[in-house]
C-alpha cells in the first residue's frame, strides 16, 4: 500500500486528499517532520507560493523535505509546488526555471483540454494564476503543452504540473504520479 504525504501548511490540501482517496491511495497531511516518516511519495500542492515558502522555512520541514528529495522520493508539485521545486525555488530540485503568475491575475483563470504524454485522452487542466515552466534542461521530459507553454514535465522522480488536476473529476494525472512510486 502506497503511503502518500501531502504538504499541509497551506494550499489545496483537502482537494488533493480527495483526489487520492478517490483512487484508493492513503494520504497523510504533513504538518511537521514526524509526519514525513514512512511516506513513499510527497505532494506539494497549489496555493500561494510565497506563503508556503515562508511557512516551510519557519519549520524544520525545509531540511527534512530537501533530504527526502535528494534521496529520490517521488515528489509532485502542482502550481505553487512547481515554483518551490524549480531552480531558484525553495527546493530547486528540478532543472528548469519558472515564471510566477505567468498568465496574469486570477480573473484570467481558465480550463483547457490538452494531451498529456502517456495518457490516452485529453486531460482537463485548470489554470489559476499559473506559473510557466521555462529554460527546461534536456534531462527533463515535457509531458504536456498548452500552446507554446510547458504545463507538465518530469525529471527522474519529480513531476510538475502548472495546472490543478485536483480541481477536476479526472484522476488520470494522480494515477500517473502513483505509477512513479516504487511498489
Return the active site residues. 79, 164, 166
Grid coordinates belonging to 50: 510565497
- Pick from 55, 8, 61: which is nearest to 33 by CA? 61
Whole-number Cα distances in Å, 105 to 87, 98, 102, 130, 155:
23, 17, 9, 9, 29
- Pick from 35, 37, 76, 54: which is nearest to 164 by CA? 76
- Pick from 109, 183, 122, 107: which is nearest to 152 by CA? 122
The span from the CA of 109 to the CA of 6, in Å, is: 24
Amino acid at each position: 500500500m502506497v503511503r502518500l504525504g501531502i504538504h499541509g501548511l497551506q494550499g489545496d490540501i483537502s482537494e488533493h486528499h480527495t483526489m487520492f482517496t478517490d483512487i484508493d491511495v492513503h494520504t497523510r497531511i504533513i504538518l511537521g517532520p514526524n509526519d514525513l516518516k514512512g511516506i513513499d511519495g510527497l505532494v506539494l500542492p497549489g496555493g500561494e507560493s510565497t506563503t508556503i515558502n515562508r511557512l516551510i522555512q519557519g519549520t524544520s520541514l525545509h531540511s527534512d523535505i530537501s533530504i527526502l528529495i535528494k534521496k529520490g522520493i517521488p515528489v509532485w508539485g502542482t502550481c505553487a509546488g512547481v515554483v518551490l521545486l524549480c531552480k531558484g525555488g525553495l527546493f530547486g530540485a528540478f532543472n528548469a526555471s519558472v515564471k510566477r503568475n505567468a498568465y496574469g491575475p486570477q480573473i484570467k483563470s481558465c480550463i483547457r483540454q490538452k494531451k498529456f504524454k502517456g495518457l490516452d485522452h485529453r486531460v482537463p487542466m485548470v489554470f489559476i494564476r499559473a506559473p510557466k515552466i521555462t529554460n527546461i534542461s534536456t534531462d527533463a521530459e515535457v509531458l504536456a503543452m498548452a500552446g507554446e507553454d510547458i504545463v507538465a514535465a518530469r525529471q527522474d522522480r519529480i513531476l510538475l504540473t502548472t495546472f490543478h488536476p485536483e480541481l477536476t473529476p479526472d484522476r488520470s494525472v494522480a494515477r500517473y504520479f502513483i505509477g512513479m512510486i516504487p511498489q
